[in-house]
């Protein structure tokens, strides 16, 4: 599956309000969860203690940090679409974020992306708004819903 390509921001803007597609599936394994815990100093047992999580967690196994799942948005959305002529993409923030369901270790996730809007900020800068749903393979609820903001610079 390759990313959908647009020749410029104007071509992307023709798709406001439309789904842009899905990223490939990505597995969130224990090594990635542990590395995130180490990087953020969030060593809560529900993420890193596999024996205790198996015995005491309501999920029967460790779960990924919500912020780990969130941190994958740039990678996963970049696998959905790209725009030619953009020199820089800057994470600008989120208008809304909800963590809906936990991501159990070794689950596969992907991003479903819809283009919500584009604001021209002048000087070759465009604020691109996307609605991103991180889906869990086989899950009945998504891991998270985010209204993501990215500043594109030409």
Residue with tokens 């921001």: 9
Q: Report if residue 130 sits inside a domain.
A: yes
**pLDDT tens sequence across 46-65:** 999 999 999 999 999 999 99
CA nearest to 81, candidates 128, 109, 125, 113: 113
Q: Report if residue 133 sits inside a domain.
A: yes
Q: Report if residue 46 sits inside a domain.
A: no
Residue 146 and residue 92: Cα distance in Å, rounded? 13
Number of domains in the chain: 1
Q: Are 134 and 111 in contact (CB under 8 A)?
A: yes
Q: Is the pLDDT of residue 2 over 90?
A: no
CA nearest to 16, candidates 117, 113, 112, 131: 117
Q: Report if residue 86 sits inside a domain.
A: yes
CATH number of the domain encompassing residue 92: 3.10.129.10
CA nearest to 107, candidates 70, 77, 136, 72: 136
Q: Report if residue 97 sits inside a domain.
A: yes
Q: Report if residue 41 sits inside a domain.
A: no
Q: Report if residue 36 sits inside a domain.
A: no
**pLDDT tens sequence across 66-125:** 999 999 999 999 999 999 999 999 999 999 999 999 999 999 999 999 999 999 999 999
Q: Report if residue 35 sits inside a domain.
A: no
Owning domain of residue 126: 4-28+63-153
- CA dist list (Å): 48 to 14, 34, 67, 104, 118: 44, 6, 15, 12, 39
């Amino acid at each position: 599956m390759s990313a959908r390509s647009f020749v410029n921001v104007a071509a992307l803007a023709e798709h406001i309000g439309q789904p842009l597609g899905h990223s490939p599936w990505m597995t969130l394994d224990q090594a990635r969860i542990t590395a995130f815990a180490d990087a953020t100093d969030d060593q809560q047992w529900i993420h890193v203690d596999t024996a205790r999580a198996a015995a005491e967690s309501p999920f029967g196994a460790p779960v990924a940090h919500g912020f780990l799942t969130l941190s994958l948005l740039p990678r996963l959305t970049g696998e959905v679409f790209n725009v030619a002529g953009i020199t820089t993409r800057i994470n600008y923030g989120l208008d809304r974020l909800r963590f809906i369901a936990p991501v159990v270790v070794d689950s596969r996730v992907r991003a479903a992306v819809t283009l919500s809007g584009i604001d021209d900020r002048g000087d070759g800068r465009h604020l691109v708004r996307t609605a991103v749903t991180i889906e869990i393979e086989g899950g009945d609820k998504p891991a998270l819903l985010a209204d993501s903001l990215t500043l594109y610079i030409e």
